[in-house]
A and B are shown apart, each in its own frame.
Chain A
Amino acid sequence: DVKVTQSSRYLVKRTGEKVFLECVQDMDHENMFWYRQDPGLGLRLIYFSYDVKMKEKGDIPEGYSVSREKKERFSLILESASTNQTSMYLCASSLGTWEQFFGPGTRLTVL
């Protein structure tokens, strides 16, 4: 079974802090994705990556950056956290154009 893990289930940070969310997959998937999920807005794509050191902006990249130094790991970085970044963050991976496999999510609260 594909396993996608995220570094934290719950995270509380203060405004202005730099925040790292880590995602690791164990099935050698080439594609990895970061979404945020908010009530009434569904899932929105922040960034995605097709390969190591490659990244593409999604629909809402402002305020975020990403890093993919190794194929299995995709990190989401909030350079200076703000209260409007309080959300559920979901990481996913996929092989080609097949289904995406999701991690359990990180619920981030920015105070």
Chain B
Amino acid sequence: KAGVTQTPRYLIKTRGQQVTLSCSPISGHRSVSWYQQTPGQGLQFLFEYFSETQRNKGNFPGRFSGRQFSNSRSEMNVSTLELGDSALYLCASSLTTGGTNTEAFFGQGTRLTVV
């Protein structure tokens, strides 16, 4: 069974640009969550999608957005990039929503560098 796949693995963007990251969950998983990981802040929750609907949202500005498609694949978009957006972006898939009842399976992440 294939794991969670995130593309691309590495990305370098310039301040002010926008970026789209992609996540393909484990087959059969309908929940996809996104996290930002930085050395000082650990894993910070961005948002969760379940069956194409955003079910939960973290405390990030509106520049961060996402969507989920009917095949459960998800994309995350960051507009007007800032230097502080440099981070590892992790995607996780699970069977249920809200992080309850079952564990999440993580991809290897996309390393975004903003210069």
Q: Do A and B bind each other?
A: no
Q: Which residues of A contact B (CB under 8 A)?
A: none
